Amino acid sequence: MSTDAAVHAEGLVKHFGDVRALDGIDLTVERGQVVGLLGPNGAGKTTTVRILATLLQPTAGVAYVDGHDVVKEPDAVRHAIGLTGQYAAVDEYLTGRENLRMFGDLYHLSPRYVKERTAELLEWFDLSEAADRPAKTYSGGMRRRLDLAASLIAKPSILFLDEPTTGLDPRSRLGMWGVIQALVDEGTTVLLTTQYLEEADQLAQDIVVIDHGRVIAHGTADVLKDQIGGDRIEIAVTDVSRVGRAVELLRPVGTGEAIVDEARILMPVSGGSTVLVDAVRVLDSEGIEVSDIVLRRPTLDDVFLSLTGHVAEEDVPAAPKARGRGRKEKKA
């Protein structure tokens, strides 16, 4: 097995009693890349992350993180990673500053380093003003930022983010996206599981879709969108009685059969924005008025529905799970 990648797994299988949570997952995350791991509720996303983070052992298969076997060299793996789970793993009775110092102590980092790194992270995550308040007074977005800051206390080269923005309001989510992108710009490798398809579209250079413990699709967002038919033109005809004729005229413009919903026509096309001009011209030639016309790319929601047969759903674990953060050597 090649171990040059930040993360490389082959044939990961995990059984929980009679339940086969993973059924042969293959996964590669190149260094400096963001890979989005998408899947419906129960697909195996969190199980995969927990195996890679050494919190679970696979039933079968092998996985390497930073070149180290997750089963045979768990301490070395933990040395290289940070992990943010679905729940903010902070002590609500400690202040933000005390939480970060606590995680530094757990990593066995030097007090001087922890003090400097804590101040740096509080500033970066816009928590300096609230640094000496108990975490229980923080908003949901602030807790998630503190949680992510804690996972970065030891400057890991590889970061596992398991639905890091779940439950956040849109503004806080956008803020977290900015933080994640900044980490990647500095060279951090990220494996991101998410229930928000637009999140993967925004952040991930590569996307792996899993369902029932298997990889069912893999590629960039554009590649996955192209798999379900490329662009689509959507036209609303003013006179419903002329929809049939409009469909006939549009056939040479389209690349497949049209779908008609009352006065609205949806048709697969190719050729980019020029197809809009062609469609308007051909309809105008017979005096068919259009109240609305738009060219749209398939969304990841469309891809998800096409691949899995249902929309993305939020994973709802039975209970919060502990987060594993590895030990680091002391720094001077």
Among 109-113, 198-202, 214-218, the minimum mean pLDDT is found in 198-202
Yes or no: say if 34 and 186 are a contact pair by the CB < 8 Å rule.
Answer: no
The CATH number linked to 48 is 3.40.50.300
Asked if 167 and 277 sit in the same domain, the reply is no
The secondary structure of residue 138, as a DSSP letter, is: S
Bridge-based pairing of strands 60-65 and 68-69 is antiparallel
Yes or no: say if 329 and 84 are a contact pair by the CB < 8 Å rule.
Answer: no
The CATH number linked to 286 is 3.30.70.100
In the chain, what are the helix, strand and coil shares in percent, each to the nearest 5? 35, 25, 40
Asked if 169 and 110 sit in the same domain, the reply is yes
Which of the pair, 200 or 301, is modelled with greater confidence?
A: 200
**Could you tell me the maximum CA-CA distance found in the chain, to the nearest angstrom?**
79
Asked if 55 and 72 sit in the same domain, the reply is yes
Yes or no: say if 66 and 9 are a contact pair by the CB < 8 Å rule.
Answer: no
Asked if 186 and 37 sit in the same domain, the reply is yes
Q: Check residue 317 and give its pLDDT.
A: 38
Q: Check residue 311 and give its pLDDT.
A: 59
324 within a domain of the structure (yes/no): no
Identity at 213, one-letter amino acid code: G
314 within a domain of the structure (yes/no): no
Q: Check residue 88 and give its pLDDT.
A: 75
Asked if 64 and 127 sit in the same domain, the reply is yes
Phi-psi map region of 242: left, alpha, beta (phi>0 left; psi -120 to 50 alpha):
alpha
| 299: confidence class by pLDDT, cuts 50, 70, 90 | confident
Last residue of a domain, one of 175, 190, 225: 225
Query: Over the stretch 117-160, which tens digit does the pLDDT of each residue have?
Result: 999 999 999 999 999 999 999 998 899 899 999 999 999 999 99
Asked if 221 and 264 sit in the same domain, the reply is no
Q: Check residue 85 and give its pLDDT.
A: 83
177 within a domain of the structure (yes/no): yes
Asked if 177 and 265 sit in the same domain, the reply is no
Asked if 173 and 46 sit in the same domain, the reply is yes
Asked if 97 and 23 sit in the same domain, the reply is yes
Query: Over the stretch 166-184, which tens digit does the pLDDT of each residue have?
Result: 878 888 888 889 889 999 9
Statement: residue 300 has pLDDT above 70: yes
Asked if 47 and 142 sit in the same domain, the reply is yes
290 within a domain of the structure (yes/no): yes
Q: Report how far apart, in Å, the C-alpha atoms of 261 and of each of 267, 295, 305, 319 are.
A: 11, 17, 20, 44
Statement: residue 1 has pLDDT above 80: no
307 within a domain of the structure (yes/no): no
Statement: residue 325 has pLDDT above 70: no
Asked if 210 and 247 sit in the same domain, the reply is no
Domain of residue 283, residue span:
231-296
Last residue of a domain, one of 175, 202, 225: 225
DSSP string, 185-236: HTT-EEEEE-S-HHHHHHH-SEEEEEETTEEEEEE-HHHHHHTTTS-EEEEE
309 within a domain of the structure (yes/no): no
Query: Over the stretch 236-289, which tens digit does the pLDDT of each residue have?
Result: 999 999 999 999 999 998 888 888 888 889 888 877 778 889 999 999 999 999
Domain count, the chain: 2
Query: Over the stretch 254-269, which tens digit does the pLDDT of each residue have?
Result: 888 888 888 889 888 8
Secondary structure (3-state) at 151:
helix
Asked if 284 and 159 sit in the same domain, the reply is no
